[in-house]
Structure 1
Amino acid sequence: MTEVLIFSFLTGAVLGQRFRVLVLLPLTLVMGLAAIPVGLMVDVSLLEGLKNLVLAAVALQAGYLFGSAARFGLAAARAGRVFARPVNTVR
């Protein structure tokens, strides 16, 4: 389960750097559709499968938030260097 959460977080971080927030809805739907057959293959209960799906969706959204914040932080740092004014020390 830990591997799935890490993968979901990293996937969300990559998507957060490239796409808008609306990409999370179809991806969460695809995760939900994939969780049903995977849960049947590994023989987990329905309640355990739903818990895993919710945790993976939360990890995906947290990763998206992290990736989006990283994108804006990098853009702000870049803008600070590009638009920096030279300091005038001579009067």
Structure 2
Amino acid sequence: MNIVIEIKQHQGRFGVGYRSLSAKDGNGEYLSNDISGNNVVDFVENAIQEGIKQIIAKDASAEAFTVDLPAGIVLGAELSAILVQKFEADPLVSSLAFN
């Protein structure tokens, strides 16, 4: 399953700004949205969990996950390794990679 993460910065009125995060699967369907945009790592984890829920709903077998991160979002090697170990422990995730 390919998951594409997008992040957008929004300028609101009166000097208030916010960012939004969205995650889509390979078919362009939304897996998750977040307008608070506070914690990118939590959002990435949630998007993967929503992908797993999609697999369960379709009664499908394990899939390889690839998460495409937007420019400027970099997961360090240690954090990436932790997330890979966490999600590859799930029998529905055959592998996990970040781009």
TM-score range relative to shorter protein: 0.3 to 0.5
The normalised TM-score by structure 2 is: 0.34
Which structure carries more helix by proportion?
A: 1
The normalised TM-score by structure 1 is: 0.37
Answer with 1 or 2: which has the greater Rg: 1
Which structure carries more strand by proportion?
A: 2
